[in-house]
Structures are given as C-alpha cells and as structure tokens.
Amino acid sequence: MQFCYLLFIAANYYLHRLVSIPKLLYRKRYVLFAAFVLGGIVTSAVLRSLLVIYLNGHVYHSPSSPAFAPVFGDSVLNLSIWVTGLIAVHLLIEKIRFQRYIDAVEREKTKNELDFLKAQFNPHFLFNSINSIYGHIDKGNGRARNMLLTFSDMLRYQLYECNADAIPIEKEINYIRNYVAIQQTRQEEDLVVRLHIGGDVRGFFIAPLLFTSFIENAFKFVGKKESGENFVEICLEKAPGELRFRITNSMERQHVAPSPPSLTRQGIGIANVRRRLELLYPGRHDLRVRAREDSFEVSLDIKIEAAACSPDQ
C-alpha cells in the first residue's frame, strides 16, 4: 500500500506548494495556512483509509478487512511526517534562493550607487580645479604651465585609475601632493601648508579619492586667526592595521559655529565621502569632526589589512 502513501503525499505537497504557501503563508495568514495543512492531511488520511479498505476487499480479496480507525491513525501519522517535512524542505530551499537573490540585488545596488557617487564627484572636483587654474592663467605663463601639468596628472588619475574599487596608496598620495601643490599656488602667500606623510604609508590598497573632499574643504574655509598663522596641516600615517588621516585648518573666529558650514551644508563632496565610507568600510572606519574657536579638524581612521587588495576584503 506504499503507492497510496506516495499518491496522497504528492497531492498534498503540490497543493501546498501551488496554493496554500503562496496564497496564505506568504501573505502572513498563518492560522488559515495551518488549518489548510491540517485539513489536507486529515482529508488525505480519510481517503487513503477508505481506499485501503476497498482495495483489500475488492482487489486483493483479503479474508479480513482492516478496521478503519487503525488505518486512519497510521495514515495521519505518516502523512503528517512526510507532508510537514516536504513543506519545511521546500521553504528552506526557497529561503536560500531568495537570500541569494537579495544578496545579488544588494551587490548590484551598491555597485550602481558607488558608480553614481564617483560620477558625481569627478565633475565636482574638475570644475573647482578649472576655476583655480583660471584665476592664475594671466599671472605668468610659467606658473600656469606648471599648474596645467599638475592638473593634467590629476585628471589622468581620476579618469583612468579611479574606476577601480581600490588603488595603491602610493597613487593616492601622489594625487594628494598634486592637489596641495595647486591649492598652494592659488592661496594667499601667508598661508602655511604642512603636509606630512609617514614613510611606512605604502604597500596596501585603498578606495580612491576618500581624502580629497576634506582637503578641499580645509583650503576653502581656511581663515587667518586673530593671532597666529594662517595654516592647513595634513597628516597621513599608518598604525598597526589602521590608516590615520588628520587635517586641520585655521579659521577666523566669526566663522566658527557649533556645526561647521562645510559639513552642515552637506555638499556633494562631504556627503559623497560619508556614504562611500559606509558602503566600502562598514564598521571599519571612524570619522570625527572637531570645531574649535579658531581651527577646524577632521580625523578619519580606516582599518586596513596588510595584504588586502581591495576595501571589501
């Protein structure tokens, strides 16, 4: 009589797969779903019991026909085990498939968002740099020529190397040096720029253009103190398993507010970097902003791996 079991087990499985699971369980109608499953098992047990009794008496011509109650009890028990087991396996397989689909969608969404952010960032910086060069173009061909060469190197870096998810830190450092060189040329002569890059900051990869917005902000909002020098200080150092970036700029006293204007406006640059850090280094970065009476400081610590070749690893 095993054929009878297979018949009713298969009928229950496809009934729940095609009807009760999509129409009741997935719509969170749990009580109706449980009642549907129980009703299907009981109905199948009744039908199987009647079929077994009929086959014993009319097909196999058994001298003693089995009683209904024991056949029904065995049918309920076996059908319950098989049907609930198959439903559980089906739901587990569906959950695994759905999770894989969600993971694929999330990866694609993250990639598209990062591409969009980088596409926004590049023109933003490009226009700022062009304005800087334009301000000096008539002040001497030698200076303008040097700026254009530096800018050309920076533009090449943005267009041809920043499309990768991660680049060697040495290239990012070269980009920072070029950026600072251009900014020094366009700023006032009394501006003091201190750029310190540790000698051990090498041999690993990092997401491109993470620091440029903070450096750009420092030069944009730098102002002379009432007493003291007009300065921008940039420091990039490596600690065990960590890259530390610090930038401080002097500010005129009347420009200082509880929330610095460069961050409260949430322009493309700052918002871009904040979001990229969340996407590329979730739980592996620490961004701090400090506004004092006459200075403004940004600190960014990023956890890195010595042999890492991408920020996701």
Residue 217 or 272, more confident: 217
Mean pLDDT of all residues in the chain? 80
- The stretch 58-85 carries a mean pLDDT of 81
Predicted confidence band of residue 129 (pLDDT cuts 50, 70, 90) = low
Burial classification of residue 141, based on how many CB atoms lie within 10 Å of its CB (0-12 exposed, 13-18 middle, 19 or more buried): exposed
Predicted confidence band of residue 237 (pLDDT cuts 50, 70, 90) = very high
Quote the CA–CA distance of 167 and 107 in Å, as a whole number. Answer: 20
Predicted confidence band of residue 196 (pLDDT cuts 50, 70, 90) = very high
- The stretch 13-21 carries a mean pLDDT of 89
Give the model's pLDDT for residue 242.
93
Q: Provide the phi-psi class of 283: left if phi over 0, else alpha when psi is between -120 and 50, else beta.
A: left
The distance in angstroms from the start CA to the end CA of the chain is 57
For the domain bounded by 137-303, which CATH number is listed?
Answer: 3.30.565.10
Q: With H, G, I as helix, E, B as strand and everything else as coil, classify residue 232.
A: strand
* b/e sequence 64-80, b meaning 16+ C-beta within 10 Å: eeeeeeebbebbbebbb
Using the predicted structure, report yes or no on whether residue 313 has a pLDDT greater than 70.
no
- Residue indicated by tokens 């009741």: 24
* b/e sequence 187-198, b meaning 16+ C-beta within 10 Å: beeebebebebe
Give the side-chain half-sphere CA count within 13 A for 263: 18
Lowest mean pLDDT among 68-72, 73-77, 182-186, 206-210: 182-186
Instruction: Report the candidate in 300, 313, 311 with the shortest Cα–Cα distance to residue 168.
Output: 311
Q: Please tell me whether the overall predicted TM-score, pTM, comes out greater than 0.75 for this model.
A: no
Listed by start position, the domains of the chain span 2-103, 137-303
